[in-house]
Amino acid sequence: MKSLSMMLLTSIRLVTLMILCIYYIPADKASWTGWSFYVPVAMLVFVVTHFIHMTTTRSIVRMICSSVDFLLAFGFGMIFPDSGYLYLIFFGIIATTVFIAFDGKQVVKVFPIAFFIAWGFVSYRQYVLGDFMITSNLINLTFVIYCALVGSLIRHIQLAKETIAVQYDQLNETHTALQEAHGQLERYANQVEELTVIRERNEIAREIHDTVGHKMTALIVQLQLANEMSVRDPDKAKAIIGTCEQLARDSLHEVRLSVRTLKEEDHLQASFLHVMKELLKEFADSAHMQTELDVQGDLSSIPLFLQPTLKRIVQEALTNAKRHGNADVCQVSIRVDSKELRLEIQDDGKGAGQVVPSFGLLNMKERVAEHGGMLQMESEEGKGFTIHVSFPLQRVRWSSTGVIA
């Protein structure tokens, strides 16, 4: 759809062509000759080519119309040489039309050559008839050149507007696509967060089943044994009941740790460093064991999916240090760099010459393996127990040509 300014410009073009043609009509009937009928025919053809040119988008049709207009203007110069240089105004209007409608590289090669050939023929005819004036010729020639430059400028302005319109539409499409992508990423992030929480809760449920379930089974067996021994050997039955009491306490402690972990999953606002401090402090207060934390590196760079696993490892290690090692001090050390995360838990308990993994330690090894990590245990009689855990941290590098791992 043409703009209002272009419609006004084309209307003025047609009116100007008609006024120029009317100028060539003789004032009285006596002045009419056979060539005078060229004027109304030219007016009719100008009107037809104008409307065809303005309504079609086919380049070849526009070229034909412009060629017809060019020949009509050339005809005015050749048929009416005594009219001076008025015919050059036709060429000026046609030049404006041609330079607006066609690509500059096409018209620069064809139109100037054709124009100077036509101008040369008309000038020679005027020279032969004695009507040639160099000054008027040059003035009207500069008018044609000016019209060509104006047409070229208008075309560049049109192309710039079209480019801006296309880029604006592309920008709107890109903005819409970015909004959709943002919404999709937000949905994916929520799904990942939900899946992470579900996975961790499933692991906690599995651990409750493996640890508390095992202890409750042992507790039932011990109670049955105490019931049998209560008549035959009361002292042994009393010792068995003491064991049952310890199993019940251990099971209660495991349940509390699991519930605490679930509560921490529901309040992820706290930093990992704060969570670790609270964990060590609560255990120290409840188990009467000194705990220490040594951190090197930025704990905020630890992936979210690793944090619950690290908490459960520390919880299990603290429990084992007090229950099996009767430790007084437990030191937790965390080292984080760009390539690896290392966790070391060391206590001053009684240790053991040979490490026999319990259910808790086996679950700990499974958790570490699931995330591609490694777990090692060291212990000597009377020298405490040490757990070494390491996780590789993925490093991603990005460049404009793609992602480089």
Percent of the chain scoring above 90 in pLDDT: 5
pTM, full prediction: 0.42
Model confidence at 261: pLDDT above 70: no
Provide the pLDDT for residue 403. Answer: 46
Q: Summarize pLDDT for 56-79 with one digit per residue, the tens.
A: 878 888 888 888 988 988 888 888
Q: Which of these ranges, 124-138, 199-213, 234-248, 369-383, has the smallest mean pLDDT? A: 199-213
Model confidence at 129: pLDDT above 60: yes
Q: For the chain, how are helix, strand and coil distributed in percent, rounded to 5? A: 70, 10, 20
Model confidence at 288: pLDDT above 50: yes
Q: How confident is the prediction for the chain on average, in pLDDT?
A: 79
Model confidence at 334: pLDDT above 90: yes
Residue 152: name the closest of 95, 221, 90 by CA: 95
Model confidence at 363: pLDDT above 50: yes
Residue count of the chain, please give it: 405
Model confidence at 333: pLDDT above 90: yes
Percent of the chain scoring above 70 in pLDDT: 80
Provide the pLDDT for residue 293. Answer: 92
